[in-house]
Structure formats: C-alpha cells, structure tokens
Amino acid sequence: MAKEIWVFAERNGNEPAGVVYELLSKSRALAKEMGGYKVAAIVLGSGNLLTFDKLMEGGAEIIYSADHPALGDYRCDLYGLTLEKLVREHAPEYLFMGATGIGSELAPTTAGLLKTGLAAHCIDLRWNGQRLNCMVPAFGGKVVSEIYIPNARPVMASVRPGILDAEVPAPADVQIMSTDTAFLGTAESGEEFLGFETAGKPENDITEAQVVVAAGRGAASDAAWKGVTDLTEKLGAALAWSRALIDTGRVSDESAMIGTSGKSVKPRVLINVGVSGAAQYICGIGKSRTIISINKDKSAKIFEHSDYGVVGDAAKILPALIEKL
C-alpha cells in the first residue's frame, strides 16, 4: 500500500488558495523522488464538491473530504479536531500547509493534538535521499536551517506562500474519500463565528505581479524615490521595498516588504534599486526569473544574485532609463 503525502487544501471562497497548488506540485516532486508515495488533498468545509475539480487539476491523486455544516466557516479548534481524526484513521507520513493566516494557526494546533513535530514557515522542502529536510530561515534570514523530524509522524510543515513553483500536471485518476463527521454534531467549540468580510485584492499585490520594482535604503532620497515611483508607473509594475527602506522613514508599513519577515515574490522581472542584498531580503526573491539591480556600491551583495547589474546613482540612472522606455 502506497504511503501518502497530505496537503491541507485551504480555501479562498470556493477556490483553493494559491499556496495549495504550490504544495501539491512540490509534493508530487517529492513523491517521485521518494518512490511509493501518493499525494492527497484534504478538504474541510460544507459543500466540498465545489473545490474537487480544481484539486484534481492541481494534481491530487486522492481527496479526503470532511463535509459538515460546522466546518462551513473556519474555526481552528474544530478544524484541528477534524484533521486529528483524519490523520489517526489514515496515518499519512507527511502533512503540509501554507503558512498563511489560517495555516499559521491551524498547523501548530494540529501538531499539538497529534503530538508530532512541525517545521514552521519553511521556504523549501528537500529530500536528501534518506530524510525530508525542511528549510527554515533563522537569525533574521542570515542562515537557513535544515530541520528534520526523525521519529514522530506525520512530519508536519507549513510553507510560505509564493516560494514554490506550481506546475500543471498531466491528468490523473482521482480517488475521493469521505470521512464520517458525525462527531462534530456534539463537539464543543470555544470559538463563535461572527462574520466574514472580504478585504479584496490589494492594488499593489507584489506576490502576483509579473514585474516588481523594489527599493532599498539607497533609494530613500527624494530624487531616487521619484525615479522609483516613475519607473513603477511607466512599467505598470508593483512597488516593493526592503526593511532598510522602512527604517529610513520613506515608507511606514510592511505591506509590500520583501524578506523573511515580509513577503516573497517571483515575477518575470525584478528591478532592485538601492537594495544592498542582505540575506533576509534574498530569501524573498529566489524565484524571480530575471533580476536587475542598480546600486552605487560595486561590491553590494545584491549583484551576486542578479542577472544584470548597473553600478551608479539611481537618481541619475532611472530618469535616463524612463526616457528610453
């Protein structure tokens, strides 16, 4: 009997969250490396049929469905109890979740109920031929730790959204398994669901943008910042920044900050302006396809991670670039 890798299928409305496709793709790659594994998606909710087709397209070979009115709206305690029941019944080897707002709460809750190990906020999952290493940034991103869980099962990991690639697989036969959820009729919850309000898609969504212009401390001057914003507008790009730019006071929030404590991006083109290339920033740009960097310091570490580099003053270079565009 094949062993199983499970992916918790977090939902945005009636659609799987983007990180679910990333985790399914990574799980298929791991299953191929390890041999003898199948990939399963775990769907909790009410009226789950709405998400099955998308998960099939995403590469799930098995879908475990827990369908009950009590699961219609996310409540951590009831979701945790349901996952615990499913795991104890089917004994998967691995259970992965997105390190989203929900996943960051549900993963440790479930791990606690199962008394197993959890590697949280991973940036990659790697099979070394003998064990699964969960790659987790530490010390502000200066090092990436290899965390593994030797004995407890399932091995659990939460993975940051936007880090992994989501590849479209060939169609495969899917087995749908329904679980008995009658116990939820008498389960007590310490949470009361009051309502759900959709925030809407942000106008400056750096995680989905195909072109991103990112500013660092070297772009804090009025002239350089104007060049950054003008270039962003000219390219129809998303505007991002590093922690160092926040420290200058040029921007005041972390909503579009790249790095280990911010967001990860994977655009077709990333243009760094005045970014030094600190390790915690580099952790957030590793999947970018083409990286172009502008910095006055020819020894800046960002150039080690760039496809193209321009050594010079951004306040002078950006106006000339915009004029050419």
Q: For the domain that residue 228 is a member of, what is the CATH number?
A: 3.40.50.1220
Q: At which of 169, 185, 201 does a domain end?
A: 185
pTM, two decimals, is 0.79
Q: Is residue 194, in this structure, part of any structural domain at all?
A: no
Number of domains in the chain: 2
Do 227 and 275 belong to one domain? yes
Q: Which residues pair with 11 in a beta bridge?
A: 16
Do 44 and 178 belong to one domain? yes
Q: Cα–Cα distance between 138 and 278 in angstroms, integer?
A: 13
Do 53 and 177 belong to one domain? yes
Q: Which one has a higher pLDDT value, 305 or 15?
A: 305
SS (H, E, C) 33-64: HHCCEEEEEEEEECCCHHHHHHHHHHCCCEEE
Q: Show the domain range for 122.
A: 3-185
Do 140 and 52 belong to one domain? yes
Q: Is residue 180, in this structure, part of any structural domain at all?
A: yes
Q: Is residue 138, in this structure, part of any structural domain at all?
A: yes
Position 51 confidence tier, pLDDT thresholds 50, 70, 90: confident
Do 115 and 264 belong to one domain? no
Q: Is residue 23, in this structure, part of any structural domain at all?
A: yes
Residue 278 structure tokens: 């600190």
Tell me the pLDDT tens digit for each residue of 219-238.
999 999 999 999 999 999 99
Instruction: Provide the 10 A C-beta neighbour count for residue 157.
Output: 27
DSSP class per residue in 138-185: ETTTTEEEEE--SSSSSEEEEE-TTSS--PPPPP---EEEE---GGGG
Q: Is residue 199, in this structure, part of any structural domain at all?
A: no
Q: Is residue 202, in this structure, part of any structural domain at all?
A: no
Do 222 and 161 belong to one domain? no
CATH number of the domain encompassing residue 129: 3.40.50.620
Do 253 and 118 belong to one domain? no
Do 135 and 50 belong to one domain? yes
* Residue closest to 273 by CA, chosen among 141, 235, 164, 205: 235
Q: What pLDDT, on a 0 to 100 scale, did the predictor assign at position 12?
A: 82
Q: Cα–Cα distance between 177 and 83 in angstroms, integer?
A: 14
Q: Which of 19-33, 136-150, 182-196 has the lowest mean pLDDT?
A: 136-150
Do 156 and 233 belong to one domain? no
Do 238 and 319 belong to one domain? yes
Contacts of 58 (CB under 8 A, 6+ apart): 16, 20, 21, 24, 25, 41, 166, 169
228 near 273, Cβ under 8 Å? yes
Q: Is residue 191, in this structure, part of any structural domain at all?
A: no
291 near 270, Cβ under 8 Å? yes
Q: Is residue 192, in this structure, part of any structural domain at all?
A: no
Q: Is the pLDDT of residue 44 over 90?
A: yes
Position 304 confidence tier, pLDDT thresholds 50, 70, 90: very high
193 near 69, Cβ under 8 Å? no
